[in-house]
Amino acid sequence: MKVLVIGANGQIGHLIVESLQKADDFIPVAMVRKEEQVAALKERSVDTVLSDLEGPVEDLAKAMEGIDAVVFTAGSGGKTGDDKTLLIDLDGAVKCIEAAEKTGVKRFVMISALQANNRENWNDSLRPYYVAKHYADRMLEMSSLDYTIIRPGGLLNEPGTGKVNAGGQLDRSTIPRADVAQTVLEVLKTNRTIQKSFDLVSGDDSIADALRKV
């Protein structure tokens, strides 16, 4: 399976690419927007494609040619303003959904945010970010794609434990980025989570067992 990782230069994206490289039957393709990022990925023997989430849908569709699945893990980052959050986390995500439909790529995995589906539990200081995630997720749910939406808790730069809790609405907690990446890999291995959305935090179940309960 050839998997386009959108946001491959980010921390989770980097780990997803690495996990896909190590797994059997997967070929990661890293989508980045800068030439220097392409060079760095090629040094790791990663196939790359150059495209920009602020560009037209047609360009994103070209980046998806020959792709079997898309993982969207791009984000504007904490150092940009609300305008970039709208352009990347919302409009960029929606354009990728449109591009996948245009190209005929059915499988789409979205990395969202814990309880983005639940307005009552949004962090006030991050409200524009949650608004962007909420409506990007809604657009994916209304699309024709075979989607899975993963809503991880607070992200940690710690070694993965391989133990998680996954469910419709979990208490606010944290999870290593490495475990999010492994969850993406497990999601791509099975059709069990198609048309499903779930929160994800560190817990007691193996990732495979947790996904069986979703």
Cβ neighbours for 149, distance < 8 A, ≥ 6 positions apart: 109, 110, 112, 137, 140, 141, 196, 197, 198
Q: Please state, in angstroms and rounded to a whole number, the distance separating the CA atoms of residues 50 and 67.
A: 14
Burial 188-211 (b: 16+ CB within 10 A, else e): bbeeebeeebbbbbbbeeebeebb
Cross-strand pairs, 72? 6, 110
Rounded to whole angstroms, the Cα distance separating 179 from 88 reads 24
Q: How far is CA 118 from CA 78, 115, 131, 151, 209, in A?
A: 21, 5, 10, 11, 25
Residue 145's nearest CA partner among 112, 201, 107, 89 is: 107
Q: What share of the chain is helix, strand, coil (3-state, %, to 5)?
A: 40, 25, 35
Is 147 marked active-site?
no
From the list 129, 130, 135, 147, the catalytic residue is 129
The residues assigned a catalytic role are 129
